[in-house]
């Protein structure tokens, strides 16, 4: 695990409420700018590429809203694929067992940071 630095800062920890709105950000993934998001579930922050495994569309219902009405799943707005919030695994709908791509993050007392990965880097804001 790398030491977080300002270059990998995604958001303040307080921005992520349990099963609430997420925070969108972008990464360079294999050299391509790709949308991503982070949410909080069962007290822990989880980040994924914002790319549905069904048709490669972004999941949000409204900007940065990813949870289903009961807060149990992440739900794709387009055709209703459902993903388990802590793993990104497909749990229903047209994702057909293909999950979301999870990103490694580090959460400190004050912030959430993208952990270093070979093929994923935070895109410039
Ligand atoms: S694009 Fe997400 S369910 Fe079809």
Q: Please tell me the distance between residue 118's alpha carbon and the centre of ligand 1 in angstroms.
A: 27
- pLDDT confidence tier of residue 117, bands split at 50, 70 and 90: confident
The CA distance from 83 to 69, in Å, is: 13
Rounded mean pLDDT, 58-83: 96
- pLDDT confidence tier of residue 6, bands split at 50, 70 and 90: confident
pLDDT of 56 above 90: yes
Which pLDDT score, from 0 to 100, does residue 88 have?
A: 98
The CA distance from 82 to 8, in Å, is: 28
Rounded mean pLDDT, 88-93: 96
pTM given for the model: 0.93
Distances (CA, A) of 13 to 45, 77, 90, 105: 8, 25, 26, 12
- Quick one: CA torsion of 62, 64, 66, 71, rounded to 10 degrees? -100
Distances (CA, A) of 122 to 20, 34, 81: 23, 10, 26
Give strand pairing partners of 102: 48
Percentage of the residues of the chain whose pLDDT score is greater than 70:
95
Find the angle CA(92)-CA(96)-CA(101) to the nearest 5 degrees: 90
Residues with CB under 6 A from ligand 1: 52, 54-55, 57, 76, 78-81, 93-94
The CA distance from 11 to 69, in Å, is: 24
Which pLDDT score, from 0 to 100, does residue 125 have?
A: 58
Rounded mean pLDDT, 51-57: 97
Q: Which of 56, 61, 74, 81 to mutate to test the pocket of ligand 1 (most atoms within 8 A of CB)?
A: 81
Q: Please tell me the distance between residue 57's alpha carbon and the centre of ligand 1 in angstroms.
A: 6
């Amino acid at each position: 695990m790398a030491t977080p630095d300002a270059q990998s800062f995604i958001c303040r920890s307080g921005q992520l409420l349990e099963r609430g709105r997420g925070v969108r950000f972008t990464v360079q993934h294999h050299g391509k700018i790709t949308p991503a998001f982070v949410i909080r579930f069962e007290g822990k922050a989880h980040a994924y590429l914002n790319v549905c495994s069904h048709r490669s569309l972004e999941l949000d219902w409204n900007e940065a809203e990813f949870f289903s009405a009961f807060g149990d799943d992440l739900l794709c707005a387009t055709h209703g694929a459902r993903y388990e919030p802590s793993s990104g695994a497909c749990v229903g709908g047209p994702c057909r067992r293909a999950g979301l791509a999870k990103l490694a993050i580090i959460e400190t007392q004050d912030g959430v940071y993208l952990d270093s990965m070979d093929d994923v880097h935070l895109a410039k804001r």
